[in-house]
C-alpha cells in the first residue's frame, strides 16, 4: 500500500467508526457489536504501519 492508499483507508475507517458510534449512542442496534472493536483495531494497525514505516510498504 502506498501512502495515498493508507490515508484513504484510514479516512474510510474513521468515518465507519463515527457512524457506528453514532448508531450506538442513539440507541439504534448495530449490525454487529464486534464491528466497533474490529474497526478500532484496523485503525490502530494502519497507524502503526504509518508511524513505523512513514507510510512505506513492508518488504516481507
Secondary structure (DSSP) of 4-59 = HHHHHHHHHHHHHHHHHHHHHHHTPPPS-THHHHHHHHHHHHHHHHHHHHTTPPP-
Check whether 3 has a pLDDT greater than 90.
Answer: no
* Cell numbers placing 2: 502506498
Tell me the pLDDT tens digit for each residue of 7-58.
999 999 999 999 999 988 888 877 788 999 999 999 999 999 888 876 566 6
Q: So what's the pLDDT on residue 52?
A: 85
Amino acid at each position: 500500500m502506498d501512502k495515498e492508499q493508507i490515508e484513504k483507508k484510514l479516512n474510510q475507517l474513521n468515518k465507519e467508526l463515527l457512524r457506528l458510534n453514532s448508531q450506538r449512542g442513539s440507541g439504534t442496534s448495530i449490525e454487529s457489536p464486534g464491528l466497533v472493536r474490529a474497526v478500532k483495531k484496523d485503525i490502530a494497525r494502519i497507524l502503526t504501519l504509518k508511524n513505523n514505516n512513514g507510510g512505506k510498504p513492508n518488504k516481507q
